Amino acid sequence: RSEELRRSDERFRLLVEGARDYAMFLLDRGNIITFWSSGAERVFGWTQEEAVGQSGEMIFTAEDRASGAVEREIKTALDEGRAAERRFHLRKDGSRFWADGVLMRLDDQRDRLRGYAKVARDATDQRRIEDELRHARDEMEQRVLERTRDLLTTNAELERTMAQRQQLEKELLEISEREKRRIGEDLHDMVCQELTATALFLRSNAKKLAHDPAAAETLEESAQIVNRNVGLARDLARGLQPADLKGAGLKQALRSLAEQACESTEIKCHFKAHAGVRVTDDIVALHLYRVAQEAVNNAVKHSGAKNILITLDRNKEHVCMSVQDDGKGFFPSRRSKGLGVHIMRYRANALGGQLKIERRRHGGMDITCVIPVVTKR
């Protein structure tokens, strides 16, 4: 048995003394060092003779001693069996190093406290790597933050530019609308009146030429030609003038648009409004009317359709105006020379909405303008 004990003792010594990078030492119940390994000599600098008999406090920094760290470590070891500690410790020469260690409570066979064992190692390198890692992570986070801030700024600028552009387009459309209205008014009030007066003048002169029926007939024919031109100029003025949107409203204006298309062509053009649709905003009404006008004109001019249907609809969020035809259809192209489709898009965008140009399943087109409803402030 004693041989066995000796061998086990030897194995223990080999293990403890061989672990050169690990400081291992024992403390009694009063925190006095009773054993000091050669690893402890290497790590802390005190020889075995110097260390044994000293207080376990000697490896703690002055700050830790003052703040009660020694007692806290012992209490944890007492309460929980072990206290893992990572802190700066002191070497004999007064220098400090980052140590990673554990203090364990040692009990005898009857579970009575015998003292403590401490194992610690110099973890300076590990700490440096951790510091570097933390630093790299902080730097990374900082860069991500800066990048995000840059992106947000750029985004805000972009949004501002877009809003400015939208506003500009709206103003352009309004200017063009005013111009159209002015030309329409001039055409109606000046040209039509002048022409009508001219026709009357020709007619009254024809009456005076009873003695020359041939000349009278020529004048009468001239009067008729002038009257036809009055009709044409009126039609033109009617197209330029916004329909009476303020008075009768968008629905009535779209209905007359359909009627006009029927009058001047063989095409059957209908208007259908969903019950309860009311567009109260003048600008929205005007743009929607202009989109319908262009879409109907296009269907008449280009599609060869027999039927055109204008519809006006709304749900909680949108007003929806569409013009459908049963003609030959087309694929919208960005390079088209025409302005109509572009302007329809502008109008829809100026109202914060969207223009959808779709081919219908059985031929023909469906041009839909979807505008968000803004509740009036």
Residue (205 or 349) nearer to Mg ion, CB: 349
Does the protein bind ligand ATP through residue 322 (CB under 6 A)?
no
Task: Give the residue, chosen from 51, 233, 288, 365, that forms a contact with ligand ATP under the rule CB under 6 A.
Answer: 365
Binding map of ligand ATP across residues 288-317, x = CB under 6 A, - = no contact:
----------xx-xxx--------------
Dist. CA 241–CA 184, nearest whole Å? 5
The size of the interface with Mg ion (CB under 5 A), counted in residues, is 3
| C-alpha of 70 from chain center | 56
Closest to Mg ion by CB, 338 vs 352, is: 338
Q: Are the C-beta atoms of residues 351 and 287 closer than 8 Å to each other?
A: yes
Measured from the CB of residue 303, what is the shortest distance to ligand ATP in angstroms? 3
Residue 327 near ligand ATP by CB under 6 A: yes
In what helix (H) or strand (E) does residue 230 lie, and over which residues does it extend? helix 213-240
Q: What is the layout of strands, in order, in the sheet containing 365-372?
A: 268-273, 307-314, 318-325, 365-372, 354-359
Query: Rule CB under 6 A: is residue 325 a binding residue for ligand ATP?
Result: yes
Residue (4 or 266) nearer to ligand ATP, CB: 266
330 contributes a contact to ligand ATP by CB under 6 A? yes
Q: Binding string, 129-168, against Mg ion, x = CB under 5 A? A: ----------------------------------------
Nearer to Mg ion (CB atom), residue 8 or residue 264: 264
Residue closest to 279 by CA, chosen among 356, 355, 345, 369: 369
Residue whose CB is less far from ligand ATP, 303 or 322: 303
User: Count of residues for the chain?
Assistant: 377
Gap between the Cα atoms of 372 and 348, Å rounded:
10
Site for ligand ATP contains 339 (CB under 6 A)? yes
* Residue nearer to Mg ion on the CB measure, 59 or 295: 295
Of 16-24, 185-193, 224-232, 330-338: span binding Mg ion (CB under 5 A): 330-338
The interface partner of residue 345, options being Mg ion, ligand ATP, none and the CB cut-off 5 to 8 Å by kind, is none
- Rounded CA gap, 37 and 21, in Å? 11
Gap between the Cα atoms of 188 and 9, Å rounded: 121
The 22-28 sheet, strands edge to edge: 33-36, 22-28, 113-122, 96-107, 82-90
Distance CA 162, CA 367 (A): 25
First to last CA, the chain: 99
d(CA 299, CA 328): 9
- If phi > 0 it is left, if psi is from -120 to 50 it is alpha, else beta; for residue 328 that is alpha
CB nearer to Mg ion: give 249 or 340: 340
Binding letters toward Mg ion, positions 331-350, x by CB under 5 A: -------x-x----------
Q: Phi and psi at residue 77, in whole multiples of 5°? A: -65, -40
Q: State which residue, 115 or 329, has the beta carbon closest to ligand ATP.
A: 329
Within positions 269 to 308, which residues make up the interface with Mg ion, using CB under 5 A? 298
336 binds ligand ATP (CB under 6 A): yes
What residue ranges bind Mg ion (CB under 5 A)? 298, 338, 340
Contacts to ligand ATP by CB under 6 A: 298-299, 301-303, 325, 327-330, 336, 338-341, 365
